[in-house]
């Protein structure tokens, strides 16, 4: 019985191909929109997680001021001193590595090639904190850090653009008039948080950068890597207490420094992108309801056109339940066909748009199955009323219908 009903439904659909396609268009657009938006949203969330993770796992970034800038137009907050780095390393438990940072920039020059890049002054602990291995060469020696020797470790972007096909290890290049010897090359990391190219960097001993680039002993940032066995929030609270004590901040006064937890930033950003994805998906799902209304309207027209056919079926012995099932199956078949076409369109659309947005394509079987099942449910809900109307026709009145 069910097989015959499905066959009759397909025959009715194929008799009016264009009308059937237009009927399912709302479902096609709705399913395609929901799945595409959700897939791209999941890709964007994954991209945010990857970028934040590239800053380092369990990293606390200590900066002067109450935010990324001064804020409020007040005096510039004091920078950190080398003694602060020593105090953090010696007095806090749960700290895996502490790395001071002083940043500058300049144009690197090597045999006619030049490239503008970022200069980071730090210590060998920076690479341990960031868990950033070298692709070649070595790290700073303790005596090189202590004396502030003109040695450097370069990123992959600088290597490719400044040295081209030449092995940079042991070579010297100039940056802002200062000669520096390359002792190491960092492994490639690509784009980091906030769209920054992490490989476009020169890393030097911090004393050398302070002496030749910044001209002072100030430290603009301290990177604190927390041991995996310790709770990051507990270590952060201890770090804040220590810095308030060292910077002589009175009880009740606001901090003149801030601590950024990369995990908290990741959770906040991924939570935001997830909510936005859900909102966009919900808006796109409205078109599914519009498609359901379209199916109901066309099925009502179909019932009117086939009134005599319904009357004949009822007159020769078909029961109302069989007529209801025929039209209900027809509505569900239309919805399922629209859902399948929408899923195919969503797949190709996601594959095409994801590279343009620079986000990974993440196929989510759950959302695809959910969208298809919802489209089938739309057929049941909006197809029931026309089917019920067809089943309730009086056979005599139906046969008299012109």
Q: Token pair 């801030």 is at which residue?
A: 258
* pLDDT higher than threshold 60 for residue 73: no
Distance, in Å, from the CA atom of 219 to the CA atom of 88, rounded to the nearest integer, reads: 14
Does residue 125 contact residue 157 with C-beta atoms inside 8 Å? Answer: no
Return the percent helix, strand and coil in the chain, to nearest 5: 60, 20, 25
Q: In terms of pLDDT, which residue wins out, 359 or 201?
A: 201
Alpha helices in 123-231 (DSSP H): 125-130, 142-147, 156-158, 206-209
Distance, in Å, from the CA atom of 325 to the CA atom of 329, rounded to the nearest integer, reads: 6
Distance, in Å, from the CA atom of 265 to the CA atom of 370, rounded to the nearest integer, reads: 31
Token pair in block for residue 80: 């950190």
What values do phi and psi take at 27, rounded to 5? -65, -40
Q: In the chain, where are the structural domains located?
A: 2-51+267-400, 78-255
Residues in the chain: 402
Q: Indicate the helix (H) or strand (E) that contains 52.
A: helix 17-53
Token pair in block for residue 210: 């302070």
Distance, first Cα to last Cα, the chain = 29
For residue 24, what are the contacts with CB-CB under 8 A and spacing of at least 6? Answer: 291, 295, 334, 335, 337, 338, 341
* pLDDT higher than threshold 90 for residue 206: yes
Report the range of poorest mean pLDDT among 80-84, 147-151, 158-162, 270-274: 270-274
What's the average model confidence in pLDDT over 104-126?
91
Q: In terms of pLDDT, which residue wins out, 190 or 152?
A: 152
Q: Is 45 left (phi over 0), alpha (psi -120 to 50) or beta?
A: alpha
pLDDT for res 265: 67
What values do phi and psi take at 159, rounded to 5? -60, -45
Three-class SS state of 310: helix
Q: Which residues pair with 182 in a beta bridge?
A: 152
Distance, in Å, from the CA atom of 151 to the CA atom of 202, rounded to the nearest integer, reads: 10
What's the average model confidence in pLDDT over 89-109?
91
Instruction: Using alpha carbons, select from 210, 211, 260 the residue that is nearest to residue 102.
Output: 210
Distance, in Å, from the CA atom of 356 to the CA atom of 340, rounded to the nearest integer, reads: 25
Does residue 382 contact residue 292 with C-beta atoms inside 8 Å? Answer: yes
Token pair in block for residue 46: 């994954």
For residue 138, what are the contacts with CB-CB under 8 A and spacing of at least 6? Answer: 183, 184
For residue 246, what are the contacts with CB-CB under 8 A and spacing of at least 6? Answer: 83, 84, 87
What's the average model confidence in pLDDT over 123-143?
90
For residue 217, what are the contacts with CB-CB under 8 A and spacing of at least 6? Answer: 81, 82, 210
* pLDDT higher than threshold 50 for residue 217: yes
What values do phi and psi take at 148, rounded to 5? 70, 50
- Whole-prediction pTM: 0.60
Does residue 197 contact residue 157 with C-beta atoms inside 8 Å? Answer: yes
Distance, in Å, from the CA atom of 197 to the CA atom of 175, rounded to the nearest integer, reads: 19
For residue 189, what are the contacts with CB-CB under 8 A and spacing of at least 6? Answer: 54, 132, 198, 199
* pLDDT higher than threshold 50 for residue 71: no
How large a percentage of the chain has pLDDT more than 90?
30
């Amino acid at each position: 019985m069910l097989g015959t009903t499905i066959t009759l439904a397909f025959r009715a659909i194929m008799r009016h191909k264009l009308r059937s396609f237009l009927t399912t268009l709302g479902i096609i657009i709705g399913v395609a929109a929901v799945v595409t938006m959700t897939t791209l949203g999941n890709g964007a969330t994954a991209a945010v997680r990857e970028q934040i993770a590239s800053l380092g796992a369990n990293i606390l970034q200590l900066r002067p001021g109450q935010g990324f800038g001064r804020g409020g137009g007040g005096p510039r907050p004091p920078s950190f001193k080398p003694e602060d780095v020593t105090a953090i390393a010696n007095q806090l438990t749960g700290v895996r590595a502490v790395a001071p940072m002083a940043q500058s920039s300049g144009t690197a020059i090597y045999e006619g090639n030049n490239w503008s890049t970022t200069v980071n002054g730090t210590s060998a602990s920076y690479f341990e904190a960031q868990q950033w291995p070298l692709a070649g060469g070595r790290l700073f020696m303790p005596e090189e850090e202590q004396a502030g020797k003109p040695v450097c470790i370069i990123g992959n972007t600088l290597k490719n653009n400044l040295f081209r096909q030449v092995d940079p290890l042991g070579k010297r290049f100039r940056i802002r008039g200062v000669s520096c010897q390359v002792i190491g090359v960092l492994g490639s990391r690509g784009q980091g948080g906030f769209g920054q190219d992490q490989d476009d960097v020169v890393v030097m001993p911090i004393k050398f950068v302070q002496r030749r680039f910044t001209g002072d002993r100030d430290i603009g940032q301290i990177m604190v890597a927390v041991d995996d066995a310790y709770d990051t929030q507990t270590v952060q609270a201890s770090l804040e207490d220590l810095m308030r004590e060292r910077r002589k901040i009175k009880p009740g006064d606001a901090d003149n420094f801030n601590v950024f937890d990369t995990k908290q930033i990741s959770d906040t950003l991924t939570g935001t992108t997830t909510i936005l994805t859900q909102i966009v998906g919900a808006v796109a799902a409205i078109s599914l309801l519009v498609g359901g209304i379209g199916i109901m309207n066309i099925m009502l027209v179909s019932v009117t056109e086939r009134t005599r056919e319904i009357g004949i079926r009822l007159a020769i012995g078909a029961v109302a339940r069989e007529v209801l099932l025929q039209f209900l199956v027809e509505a569900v078949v239309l919805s399922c066909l629209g859902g399948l076409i929408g899923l195919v369109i969503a797949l190709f659309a996601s594959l095409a748009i994801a590279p343009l947005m620079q986000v990974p394509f993440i196929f989510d079987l759950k959302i695809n199955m959910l969208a298809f099942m919802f489209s089938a449910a739309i057929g049941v809900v909006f197809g029931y009323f026309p089917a019920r109307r067809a089943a309730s026709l009086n056979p005599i009145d139906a046969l008299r219908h012109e």
